[in-house]
Amino acid sequence: MERQIAIIGAGISGLLACKHAVEKGFNPIIFESRTTIGGVWAQTIESTKLQTPKSYYQFSDFAWPSSVTETFPDHNQLMDYIQSYALHFNILPRIKFNSRVIEIDYSTPSDKDLLRWDLWGGTGGPFSDTGKWTITVQDVQHPLAEPQVYQVDFVILCIGKFSDLPNIPDFPTNEGPEAFDGEVIHSMDYAAMSDNDAAQFIKEKMITVIGFQKSALDVATEVAKRNGVRHPCTLLFKKVYWTAPEKLIPVIFQNLNRFTELMIHKPGEGFFPWLLALLLSPLLWIFLKSVESYLKWIYPLKKYNMIPSHSFLKQIYSCMFTATPTNFYDRVEEGSLIFKKSQAFSFCKNGLILDGETKPLVTDIVIFAYRI
């Protein structure tokens, strides 16, 4: 009998899981709460594009079209690519759009069977001979309608790390957004707006963007571009991170290969790998220190006290590498983008109170862009 698999989410991972399941002879069904595929790429700000070279960001069995010549395609090109993949492998008919999964449960004839779930599937395999997964799904367009219930043999969660979970910290009473007369949103709320709606939302407003990772830098740069020096955008952050221009990223990726792996000490390594890493590690150190020196040379990091306290290598190890948005430091130099560093802050009636400052940072809109 054909096994049915439920896949939650129609982003890139969900599409890949579906295609693979079909190839293995299973019957997959994808539940997607939105009206389109693409996951996080379906809702992005106007200026969003890849920060990974497209040769490192493609399906292994479906290459980028020759018409895409850019090293870093924008989000529209990426969505076209994802759509083409889904059409090519006939995945779209298997997707139920506007279908939000509200409950997942496992039903089994006996409670004793649950005790066997220290083994996958109760038997060590992916499928159980007795139990079924019950998926309860709500139609997003008809929230008052009775939810539908599906029974499947296996569930694959492809909802993503950043799926509909805005990271807004907790504040003491009367020091959070409730004390603020302006608006407080998350970058994913801003990204969900159409380009025209986003432009109208920030028009002639004093905006403060909080964070220093990709979303924060992209949003702040876009706001600064649209509002200019008359209504400068403030980028508020706790810690500075290294960012690199697009032209340098392919060079970094090409050098982070299997040969580079030999230069790094690993837990439990033997004597020869330890000796090899000891002898070769200076090469990696020289390369990455050269990158740091280059970034200090092309960007006014010292001028704005933006030199990170950690090494470029440590940031790469932490998977926190970010591309510098186009014209980012040009916006800083012209005055449409202002840096503010603070270890703590709170809200007040007309803005934010920063750590160590007595005067509030006057702002109309606060956009949280924290790393999850």
For residues 153 and 181, state if they share a domain.
no
Q: Is residue 164 part of a domain?
A: no
Tens digits of residue pLDDT in 7-46 = 999 999 999 999 999 999 999 999 999 999 999 899 899 8
For residues 359 and 217, state if they share a domain.
yes
Mean pLDDT of 225-251: 94
For residues 307 and 216, state if they share a domain.
yes
Mean pLDDT of 99-122: 72
For residues 345 and 249, state if they share a domain.
yes
Residue at token pair 């090494």:
311
For residues 109 and 225, state if they share a domain.
no
3-state SS assignment for residue 4? strand
Range of 27's domain? 4-157
**Residue 63 phi, psi (nearest 5):** -75, 160
Q: Is residue 166 part of a domain?
A: no
For residues 308 and 345, state if they share a domain.
yes
C-alpha–C-alpha distance, residues 183 and 160, integer Å: 27
Tens digits of residue pLDDT in 130-159 = 678 999 999 999 999 999 999 999 999 999
Q: Is residue 327 part of a domain?
A: yes
CB 360 within 8 A of CB 327: no
3-state SS assignment for residue 83? helix
pTM of the entire predicted model: 0.86
Question: Distance of CA 47 to CAs 42, 69, 155, Å?
Answer: 13, 18, 35
For residues 70 and 128, state if they share a domain.
yes
Tally of domains within the chain: 2
Quickly state the pLDDT bin for 358 (edges 50, 70, 90).
confident
For residues 19 and 148, state if they share a domain.
yes
Domain boundary among the residues 157, 187, 219 is at 157
CATH number of the domain that residue 126 is part of: 3.50.50.60
Give me the percent of the chain exceeding a pLDDT of 90.
Answer: 67
Greater model confidence, 111 or 47: 47
For residues 211 and 144, state if they share a domain.
no
Question: Distance of CA 111 to CAs 121, 126, 209, Å?
Answer: 14, 19, 50
